[in-house]
Amino acid sequence: MVLNPVLGKLVSKRVVLASASPRRQEILTNVGLRFEVVPSWFKETLEKSSFTAPYEYAVETAKQKALEVANRMHVKHLRTPDIVIGADTIVSVDEQILEKPVDKQDAYRMLSRLNGKEHSVFTGVAIIHCHSKDNQLEMDITDFYEETKVKFSELSEELLWEYIHSGEPMDKAGGYGIQALGGMLVEYVHGDFLNVVGFPLNHFCKKLAELYYPPSKHNVQHKKYNSIPSVDTFENLSDGESESSNFTKHKGASKLDSSGIHSSGAVYTSENSSAVRTGFTVPLENQNGVSQSAAKLPSKILELMDGFRASKALFVASKLKIFDHLKDKGPVKAVDIANDVGTSVCGTERLLDACASLGLLEKTPQG
């Protein structure tokens, strides 16, 4: 995993996340990054019309969040951080920027604009490396953004208000959370799923690798696969490549001072579902500062994305009224359900198996 060597470099550094977002904290914790949380006090009052593109607004907001925390910790807390990470996620549709709704009516306005449309989710990220010189704070800033395309299904007024009354939209950019109930609103996602959740982990890992281990030409290989864009693979990312624990400045960095489912014979029956809670802990570290469970870390990210898959299965089953067909009946075969709802037997079996695995239905051994 490309981030593992970098973690060894960061273990002795004071890394600060300038965000109170529990989703960003979970994503970064799951890859083994050690950090403290210092929410930014920056008021997000930048004039949106002054930016030529939505992503520029997200990047600048992320930068200002990180700068505020870096300066505050240096001056007021008398603790100069080594690295401050700032992030800001926005939704853009019809050239309009949507942030977090201020109330339920605002959430309804946002979701109505997204209804049945494709929109873009932008996350701007700023990585600030800080150092104090003659009691003055100097900062090297690297920033980037990630864009993901998301399409909403055509949704009824009733479904929109039901989702709004759940309370979930109120702290989410664009008024929805794709990793939870909001996943039922989404028809498709093109791009980084975690970017929509709130943090573009893949791009962030690559950027850190570029900063700490800039690859030489002979260390970069372009591997091409059918229907998949070429990717850069960084070889020999070991501590032996660099004697210095300081990061190497990326050519794009700027510098500022402180002013700146399978058997057709299976039978299914309806069952009351119960909420499943998942938790996470900070992985233990070895002497090099790298998580001992590094090999298992990707599975934790997959668990986060499973929430989206689960919500999509529930959405499709609800749209086809699967549960209504089973509510007043005994055990029913998949082929009979397929005939009732007008779907293919194979597709219906897969959907029913998915619902059974989620505990929404019960699969019996009867044929």
Residue range 130-157, pLDDT digits in tens: 998 888 899 999 999 999 999 999 999 9
Regarding whether 235 and 302 lie in a shared domain, the answer is: no
Alpha-carbon 2 to chain mean position: 18
**Do 302 and 255 share a structural domain?**
no
Question: What does the pLDDT read at residue 266?
Answer: 53
Give backbone dihedrals phi and psi of 88, rounded to 5 degrees, phi first: -145, 130
Residues 242 and 269 in one domain: no
Q: Are residues 248 and 366 in the same domain?
A: no
Most distant pair of Cα atoms in the chain: their distance: 79
What CATH number is attached to the domain comprising 114? 3.90.950.10
Which range marks the domain in which residue 340 is found? 261-282+292-367
| Count of domains for the chain | 2
When pLDDT is averaged across residues 45-67 and rounded to a whole number, the result is 95
118 and 242 co-located in one domain: yes
pLDDT, position 299: 63
Over residues 288-310, the mean pLDDT reads: 59
| Catalytic pick among 82, 88, 306, 336 | 88
Whether residue 274 sits in one domain with residue 232: no
> Rounded to the nearest 5 degrees, what angle is found at the Cα of 318, between the Cα atoms of 317 and 320?
65
Give me the phi and psi of 184, to 5 degrees please: -70, -20
Does the pLDDT of residue 241 top 80, yes or no? no
Q: What is the pLDDT of residue 298?
A: 60
pLDDT at 296: 52
Q: Are residues 214 and 242 in the same domain?
A: yes
Residue 71: what pLDDT?
A: 94
Active site residue 306: no
The dihedral of CA 170, 175, 177, 183: what is its sign? positive
pLDDT of 256 > 90? The answer is no
349 versus 142: which is more confidently predicted?
Answer: 142
C-alpha count within 13 angstroms, C-beta hemisphere, residue 239: 10
pLDDT tens digits for range 62-106: 999 999 999 999 998 778 999 999 999 999 998 899 999 999 999
Higher pLDDT residue, 215 or 174? Answer: 174
Together in a domain, 139 and 216: yes
In this predicted structure, what is the pLDDT of residue 311?
75
**6 and 210 in contact (C-beta within 8 Å)?**
no
- Which residue has tokens 């870096």? 70
Extract the tokens encoding 357.
């695995």
How much is the pTM? 0.64
Tell me, yes or no, whether 244 and 296 share the same domain: no
Is 85 domain-assigned?
Answer: yes
pLDDT band at 367 (very low <50, low <70, confident <90, very high): very low
Distance CA 297, CA 283 (A): 9
Flag whether 287 is in a domain.
no
Average per-residue pLDDT for the chain:
79
% of residues, the chain, pLDDT over 70: 72
- Whether pLDDT at 39 is above 90: yes
pLDDT at 287: 44
What average pLDDT does range 260-283 have in this prediction?
Answer: 44
- CATH number of the domain to which 329 belongs: 1.10.10.10
The full 3-state SS of 47-71, as one line of letters, equals: CHHHCCCHHHHHHHHHHHHHHHHHH
Backbone angles phi, psi at 181, to 5 degrees: -60, -30
**68 shares its domain with 217:** yes
61 and 119 share one domain: yes
Is the same domain home to 226 and 301? no
Domain membership of residue 104 (yes or no) is yes
Flag the least confident range among 113-117, 132-136, 353-357: 353-357
